[in-house]
């Protein structure tokens, strides 16, 4: 299997290394990742500046760093490493959750989305650490993927769908196929003051997991399970469309 790996935490991220480590057991791996952290860049791409690519030494794989975003990395990676296409795009392992609405901001999910748009089976993987600042144990995701990556690759999915996988930061109880839940943040924007007394604003905020509805990604993580969500790039609201048509 020919596997292209990217992330949004940058080429030096331990999660990227963990993902490459487990992927090497499944085939030929090329890592193409941003040269620095680009979290929450969503599906942005670089168009008005050139992309520079440097080969880097990477354990067990060919590695390249790009002065761009995850989407750039997937497209550059396909161009330089797999011009004939590849079999799998992996993105992650993100150093935090991508649950519910997180995926609309996520550069990790965007890597998988770009793979999907290119017609390649794609998987976004995140460590769903809920207490920010705690150490992340990427070996938990490595172990789970080692057992289940094969079935995620071979499982039939519609062409516009990809997998969004979240792994809890403790030994998982098991895994669940889930729906995308809701994850709302409070105090999203903080006002602070610079040394000259001018206000500036910093976005972050604490997630308040309001939707524990059974079957959601959020509920699976709260219950200690790995969450596996099929996400579709068909954003059409088919139910509303049906009503409008009738």
Write b or e for each residue in 129-163: b if 16 or more Cβ atoms lie within 10 A of its Cβ, otherwise e.
beeeeeebbbebbbebbeeebeebbeeebeeebbb
Residue 105 CA, chain-centre distance (Å), reads 10
Terminal alpha carbon distance of the chain? 46
Shortest Cβ 192–Mn ion spacing (Å): 23
Tell me the β-bridge partners of 2: 28
Return residues touching Mn ion (CB under 5 A): 8-9, 39, 94
Shortest Cβ 142–Mn ion spacing (Å): 17
For residues 9 and 142, which CB has a smaller minimum distance to Mn ion in the complex? 9
Shortest Cβ 107–Mn ion spacing (Å): 6
Q: What are phi and psi of 222, to 5 degrees?
A: -60, -30
For residues 7 and 227, which CB has a smaller minimum distance to Mn ion in the complex? 7
Shortest Cβ 71–Mn ion spacing (Å): 14
* In contact, 35 and 70? CB cutoff 8 Å: no
Report the alpha-carbon angle 207-213-216, nearest 5: 75
For residues 38 and 176, which CB has a smaller minimum distance to Mn ion in the complex? 38
Shortest Cβ 97–Mn ion spacing (Å): 10
For residues 8 and 114, which CB has a smaller minimum distance to Mn ion in the complex? 8
Euclidean distance between CA atoms 162 and 112, whole angstroms: 7
Q: Nearest residue by C-beta to Mn ion?
A: 39
Instruction: Give residue 187's region: left, alpha or beta (phi > 0; psi -120 to 50).
Output: left
For residues 9 and 72, which CB has a smaller minimum distance to Mn ion in the complex? 9
């Amino acid at each position: 299997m020919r596997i292209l790996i990217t992330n949004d935490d940058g080429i030096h991220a331990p999660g990227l290394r963990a993902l490459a480590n487990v992927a090497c057991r499944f085939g030929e791996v090329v890592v193409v990742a941003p040269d620095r952290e680009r979290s929450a860049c969503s599906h942005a791409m670089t168009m008005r500046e050139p992309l520079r690519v440097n080969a880097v030494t990477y354990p067990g794989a060919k590695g390249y760093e790009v002065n761009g975003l995850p989407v750039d990395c997937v497209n550059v990676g396909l161009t330089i490493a797999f011009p004939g296409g590849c079999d799998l795009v992996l993105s992650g392992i993100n150093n935090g959750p991508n649950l519910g609405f997180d995926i609309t901001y996520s550069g990790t999910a965007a890597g998988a989305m770009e793979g999907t748009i290119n017609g390649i089976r794609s998987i976004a993987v995140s460590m769903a650490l809920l207490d920010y600042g705690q150490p992340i144990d990427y070996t938990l995701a490595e172990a789970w993927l080692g057992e289940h990556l094969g079935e995620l690759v071979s499982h039939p999915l519609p062409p516009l769908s990809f997998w969004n996988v979240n792994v809890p930061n403790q030994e998982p109880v098991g895994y669940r196929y889930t729906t995308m839940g809701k994850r709302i943040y409070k105090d999203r924007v903080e006002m602070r003051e610079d040394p000259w007394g001018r206000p500036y604003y910093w976005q972050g905020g604490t997630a308040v997991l309001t939707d524990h509805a059974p079957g959601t990604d959020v509920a699976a993580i709260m219950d200690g399970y790995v969450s596996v969500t099929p996400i579709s790039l068909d954003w059409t609201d088919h139910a509303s469309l049906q009503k409008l048509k009738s």
